[in-house]
Amino acid sequence: MAKDKKLVTEITSMDEDFAQWYTDICKKAELIEYTSVKGCMVIRPYGYAIWENIQRILDTTFKETGHENVCMPMFIPESLLQKEKDHVEGFAPEVAWVTHGGNEKLEDRLCVRPTSETLFCEHYSNIIHSYRDLPKLYNQWVSVVRWEKTTRPFLRSREFLWQEGHTIHATAEEAIEETERMLNVYADFCEKSLAMPVVKGKKTESDKFAGAVSTYAIEALMHDGKALQAGTSHYFGDGFAKAFGIEYTDKENKRVNPHQTSWGVTTRLIGAVIMTHGDNSGLVLPPAVAPVQVVIVPIAQHKEGVLDKANELLERLKKAGVRVKLDDTDNSPGWKFAEYEMKGVPLRVEIGPRDIEENKCIIASRWNGEKADFSLDELESAVAQKLQEAHDGMYNKALENRRNRTYACTTIDEINKALEEKGDGFIKAMWCGDEACEDEVKEKTGVGSRCIPFEQEHLSDVCVCCGKPAKHMVYWGKAY
Amino acid sequence: MAKDKKLVTEITSMDEDFAQWYTDICKKAELIEYTSVKGCMVIRPYGYAIWENIQRILDTTFKETGHENVCMPMFIPESLLQKEKDHVEGFAPEVAWVTHGGNEKLEDRLCVRPTSETLFCEHYSNIIHSYRDLPKLYNQWVSVVRWEKTTRPFLRSREFLWQEGHTIHATAEEAIEETERMLNVYADFCEKSLAMPVVKGKKTESDKFAGAVSTYAIEALMHDGKALQAGTSHYFGDGFAKAFGIEYTDKENKRVNPHQTSWGVTTRLIGAVIMTHGDNSGLVLPPAVAPVQVVIVPIAQHKEGVLDKANELLERLKKAGVRVKLDDTDNSPGWKFAEYEMKGVPLRVEIGPRDIEENKCIIASRWNGEKADFSLDELESAVAQKLQEAHDGMYNKALENRRNRTYACTTIDEINKALEEKGDGFIKAMWCGDEACEDEVKEKTGVGSRCIPFEQEHLSDVCVCCGKPAKHMVYWGKAY
């Protein structure tokens, strides 16, 4: 058993090698397994169950905000992809091409969707005729393919799961409002369900989605000080509508182009959860998306009454709506402790003969390692309270990490000094709005622009790079 | 308004042209829309909502029976597909091949999964080592691609949505038990949620899944007398395990090959629902999977109090857990009646000024067109009762259609006569078990073997074709 325990918990320390620590967790917590398809992975039951929870919560919110799910084909004919110039330039170099169906060569080759704007546009052009047909608020849960050179589980893979929202509106105002609404939905979800603080902002011109007028994003800071783009929301204006000939008859009987948006989050969010909350014992899951929120571990389970009592607690917590599991296998308690720590189960309830005698149990919290006794009479309320504490504690811890790793700088030298002395993090610095300066900052410091945050601060009058008048405060960082 | 109404209800009569009637419903009930990707379709919100209900019910059952969801890559390297001889022979001619990633040609080309046995096998070989690792009971909800020549919405398309269950067990007995269990899950689902009776049986050798030891299927009879395979469940023995080198150490420390199954149902079930229950006014949906179970249509809605009362009923039914919608648009009641008939909404509640005065409403049932008054005091119970009646009535009507169209025959002549005089249907006839006779029956009568039903009847001692001793009674039919 001692050997088994060691095997389970043997992962690389995050301080030693953060990338290897990350990969170790993906494998040892049984989130993924590699395959012979380069850059693609198996999402194992425990990993997929996290995604199912993310889906359930987001899908409910999408429906509450008036969206309907649809399903588009996974293929896009090359001729269709080429209709919007910026879009095809951005995506064509990284798509997978289907050239043969069975033994026959295709006349128009098909790409496996890297994103579905072109398919939605074709569909809109078929079904939208009058102002009465607007808006359409659509979403789909599918996988997409982008032929990346270097890949990492969840963070960057050739195939990944996502949802892509696509909406079309009568006016630009409505479409912009939708773009912002969905960015807020994502930010709320990250904070309330993933316990992960995010910065909301606008991408610079160079970092926009291919074909968008403007791209909004939420940016999170990982434990190692690197930034991760956790979700994006795009406003397209009427560019796609013009390229695809989508028109409607307005109330004055004029033919007008409608305005579009799209927005998406991916299985990358699971990678964000690992790198925001994980520690050297493994995964730490936010209660809202944890497949198992509470694991009951019986102590001296062979003793009379222990398993009966453990089963009683199981039923009580199930009834209270908690996702709970009882581990009554013959592994030792120590082995079980290590396993569920690796898997990031938020709470562990220990119950043994002495606890039963004293009508109590021990509740251990994964996120901070604290253990405390609770009367069995108050089991349900204690668990609810501890789960809430876990969420709040994890959120505050992540926020604290971000605060400690956010550096306001007014010169290139200050940026380099901050990164060198304090390690990677968010740099806050002013910018003139010139792409040349953006490139120069990246070249001289290694950090790229992450976003122009909605919450602006005035750090200085001039650009951190060229000294000309500043237009925005920008968050900069090294990115996943 | 009269003109609008005609537009909505203008579909081909099913008696005139069943195939066109089917396509008209798919389009007019807004289930699908065609795309420029040949053989692929858009599943529109109303169609997708039916699939979401199917998913929700089946997924709950799968989890209750111990299955976990996973997600495999959508690509299979050609070298992996080739590992099991029968399997590759069956599928290679009808797969889509990815040959290029971005601008680079792939060394090992990839097929888009037509089914995922090979991927699951590769994964099993990585994660199964000991008898303690068995069984694994997996499922995934994905889309697959088969390069069909002729396609029809839901029934046969190049891409379709499905779930594929894949399980692996220590013994043949356990695997066979699983194969049968899941066939029963499918049959129960069809009967209890789709109101569609099915015949459970085994496929003949010539009709087995590529690589299976035996294939079980549920077969339904459509309104036009053609058969539709509604779900399959395959027992693989240890053939795949041997081909992929999957072994485990048993309790006696011997290395053994485990035994496998797979099972699936697809969006084809939506086609089955259309062709089992639909009529010349459009779709008729079983209450369990209807996106909207009850539509409330206010009469003279401009009159004081009507919309208030309609909203009150809406809230009451929502609270009772009914999927209910109030249509308060300015279309006429007649237009609304026709629209929701086309969309197959099981119940319509009409509420007007006189109804309110008399504290009643009218409930109209889509499946048989009956209308009756109900006191508003008993709205919830009346709706529940009428929904149950709809389900039962639809099931019995479909069963009656099957009974009327099932013909027991003992000679080839009898088969031809029955088909000619009574139209297409199920033929019950004895069979010697010889593939040559199976082919000859098909050639001479046009009906192929659908399945060897579990519920056998003794119709005669000899084969319907060759006159030699019969082994089984077989259901034969023309198939979708």
Section B175-202 average pLDDT: 98
Helices B2-9 and B333-342, packing angle to 10 deg: 10
Do B218 and B350 belong to one domain?
no
Q: Which of B35, B89, B105 is most worth mutating to test chain A (most A CB atoms within 10 A of its CB)?
A: B35
**Cβ–Cβ under 8 Å, residues A113 and A122:** no
Is the pLDDT at B122 greater than 90, yes or no?
yes
Instruction: Give me the pLDDT at residue A479, please.
Output: 96
In this prediction the ipTM stands at 0.96
Do A149 and A270 belong to one domain?
yes
Query: Of chain B residues 84-113, which have a CB less than 8 A from chain A?
Result: 93-103, 110, 112
DSSP labels, B368-405:
T--EEEEEGGGHHHHHHHHHHHHHHHHHHHHHHHHHHT
**Is B35–A119 a contact, with Cβ atoms under 8 angstroms apart?**
yes
- Parallel/antiparallel/unpaired status of strands A96-101 and B96-101: antiparallel
The answer, for B127 touching chain A at a CB cutoff of 8 Å, is yes
Question: In this complex, which of B77, B158, B161 lies closest to A71 when CB atoms are compared?
Answer: B161
Tens of pLDDT, residues A106-131:
999 999 999 999 999 999 999 999 99
Residues of A in contact with B77 (CB under 8 A): 36-37
The answer, for A31 touching chain B at a CB cutoff of 8 Å, is no
Do B146 and B269 belong to one domain?
yes
Instruction: Give me the pLDDT at residue B1, please.
Output: 38
According to DSSP, residue A215 is labeled: E
DSSP labels, A325-387:
EE--SSS-HHHHHHHHHHTT-SEEEEE-HHHHHTTEEEEEETTT--EEEEEGGGHHHHHHHHH
- The closest alpha carbon to A70, from A139, A165, A156, A161, belongs to A139
CA atoms within 13 A on the CB side of A294: 29
Do A380 and A446 belong to one domain?
no
Query: Would B398 be classed as within a structural domain?
Result: no
Choosing from A335, A356, A387, the residue where a domain stops is A387
Do A209 and A100 belong to one domain?
yes
Instruction: Give me the pLDDT at residue B9, please.
Output: 59
Query: Would A282 be classed as within a structural domain?
Result: no
**Is A93–B100 a contact, with Cβ atoms under 8 angstroms apart?**
no
The CA distance from A47 to the nearest CA of chain B, in Å, is 8
Section A144-166 average pLDDT: 96
Across-strand partners of B235?
A: B214, B261
Tens of pLDDT, residues B243-272:
999 999 999 999 999 999 999 999 999 999
Is the pLDDT at A1 greater than 60, yes or no?
no
**Is B96–A97 a contact, with Cβ atoms under 8 angstroms apart?**
no
**Is A102–B94 a contact, with Cβ atoms under 8 angstroms apart?**
yes
The answer, for B253 touching chain A at a CB cutoff of 8 Å, is no
CA atoms within 13 A on the CB side of A2: 0
Question: In this complex, which of A44, A71, A96 lies closest to B43 when CB atoms are compared?
Answer: A71
Residue B192 CB-density burial (10 A; 0-12 exposed, 13-18 middle, 19+ buried)? middle
Tens of pLDDT, residues B97-107:
999 999 899 99
Do A318 and A378 belong to one domain?
yes
What is the average pLDDT score of chain B? Answer: 96
Instruction: Give me the pLDDT at residue B3, please.
Output: 43
Residues of B in contact with A49 (CB under 8 A): 68-69
Do B30 and B78 belong to one domain?
yes
Query: Would B170 be classed as within a structural domain?
Result: yes
Residues of A in contact with B127 (CB under 8 A): 33
- The closest alpha carbon to B195, from B380, B349, B9, B402, belongs to B402
The answer, for B60 touching chain A at a CB cutoff of 8 Å, is no
Instruction: Give me the pLDDT at residue B4, please.
Output: 46
Q: Which of A28, A35, A127 is most worth mutating to test chain B (most B CB atoms within 10 A of its CB)?
A: A35
The CA distance from A75 to the nearest CA of chain B, in Å, is 7
Interatomic CA distance for residues B76 and B424, integer angstroms: 40
Is the pLDDT at A205 greater than 80, yes or no?
yes
Q: How far is CA A105 from the centre of its chain?
A: 39
The answer, for A245 touching chain B at a CB cutoff of 8 Å, is no
**Cβ–Cβ under 8 Å, residues B193 and B57:** yes
Residue of chain A nearest B39, judged by CA positions: A73
Residue of chain A nearest B267, judged by CA positions: A71
Interatomic CA distance for residues A427 and B366, integer angstroms: 63
The CA distance from B337 to the nearest CA of chain A, in Å, is 20
**Cβ–Cβ under 8 Å, residues B206 and B438:** yes
Q: What is the CATH number for A448?
A: 3.30.110.30
According to DSSP, residue A16 is labeled: T
Choosing from A359, A387, A415, the residue where a domain stops is A387
- The closest alpha carbon to A209, from A88, A78, A87, A120, belongs to A87
The pair of three-digit structure tokens given for residue B52, joined into one six-digit string: 């979401």
- The closest alpha carbon to B475, from B418, B414, B408, belongs to B408
Is the pLDDT at B456 greater than 80, yes or no?
yes
Query: Would B1 be classed as within a structural domain?
Result: no
Structure-token match 């293929």, residue found: A75
Tens of pLDDT, residues B392-417:
999 999 999 999 999 999 999 999 99
Section B30-46 average pLDDT: 96
Residue B152 to residues A306, B33, B56, B227, Cα–Cα distance (Å): 59, 12, 25, 16
The structural domain count of chain B equals 3
Is the pLDDT at B305 greater than 90, yes or no?
yes
Q: What is the CATH number for A357?
A: 3.40.50.800
**Is A73–B101 a contact, with Cβ atoms under 8 angstroms apart?**
no
Choosing from A340, A356, A387, the residue where a domain stops is A387
Question: In this complex, which of A69, A94, A100 lies closest to B48 when CB atoms are compared?
Answer: A69
Query: Would B57 be classed as within a structural domain?
Result: yes
State the sign of the Cα–Cα–Cα–Cα dihedral B309, B312, B318, B321. Answer: negative
Across-strand partners of A101?
A: A104, B96
Measure CA of the first residue to CA of the last residue in chain A; give whole Å: 38
Interatomic CA distance for residues B69 and B120, integer angstroms: 12
Query: Would A289 be classed as within a structural domain?
Result: no
Cα-flanking dihedrals φ and ψ of residue B475, to 5°? -90, 130
Burial code (b: 16+ CB inside 10 Å, e: under 16) for B200-217 equals: bbbbbeebbbbbbbbbbb
- The closest alpha carbon to B241, from B259, B214, B253, belongs to B259
Cβ atoms within 10 Å of B455's Cβ, excluding its own: 8
Tens of pLDDT, residues A277-311:
999 999 999 999 999 999 999 999 999 999 999 99
Do A82 and A213 belong to one domain?
yes
Q: What single letter denotes the amino acid at residue A157?
A: S
Do B414 and B303 belong to one domain?
no
Q: What single letter denotes the amino acid at residue B386?
A: K
Question: In this complex, which of A44, A95, A147 lies closest to B70 when CB atoms are compared?
Answer: A44
Interatomic CA distance for residues A31 and A453, integer angstroms: 33
The answer, for A150 touching chain B at a CB cutoff of 8 Å, is no
**Cβ–Cβ under 8 Å, residues B336 and B327:** yes
**Is B159–A94 a contact, with Cβ atoms under 8 angstroms apart?**
no
Residues of B in contact with A107 (CB under 8 A): none
Q: What is the CATH number for B37?
A: 3.30.930.10
Which of the four pLDDT bands, split at 50, 70 and 90, describes residue B43?
very high
The answer, for B168 touching chain A at a CB cutoff of 8 Å, is no
Is the pLDDT at B5 greater than 60, yes or no?
no
Query: Would A355 be classed as within a structural domain?
Result: yes
Q: Which residues contact B393 (CB under 8 A, 6 or more apart)?
A: B365, B367, B368
Q: How many Å is the Cα radius of gyration of chain B?
A: 25
Which of the four pLDDT bands, split at 50, 70 and 90, describes residue A4?
very low
Question: In this complex, which of B99, B119, B145 lies closest to A35 when CB atoms are compared?
Answer: B119
The CA distance from A462 to the nearest CA of chain B, in Å, is 41
Interatomic CA distance for residues B174 and B124, integer angstroms: 17
The answer, for A172 touching chain B at a CB cutoff of 8 Å, is no
Do A172 and A126 belong to one domain?
yes
The CA distance from A56 to the nearest CA of chain B, in Å, is 11
DSSP labels, A405-455:
TEEE-SSHHHHHHHHHHH-S-EEEEEE-S-HHHHHHHHHHHSPEEEEEESS
Instruction: Give me the pLDDT at residue B112, please.
Output: 97
The answer, for A437 touching chain B at a CB cutoff of 8 Å, is no
Residues of A in contact with B89 (CB under 8 A): none
Question: In this complex, which of A44, A123, A161 lies closest to B42 when CB atoms are compared?
Answer: A123
Do B79 and B125 belong to one domain?
yes
Instruction: Give me the pLDDT at residue B8, please.
Output: 53
Do A186 and A136 belong to one domain?
yes
Q: Which residues contact A330 (CB under 8 A, 6 or more apart)?
A: none
Structure-token match 């209270």, residue found: A320
Interatomic CA distance for residues B39 and A474, integer angstroms: 47
Query: Would B72 be classed as within a structural domain?
Result: yes
Structural domain boundaries enclosing B315: 294-390
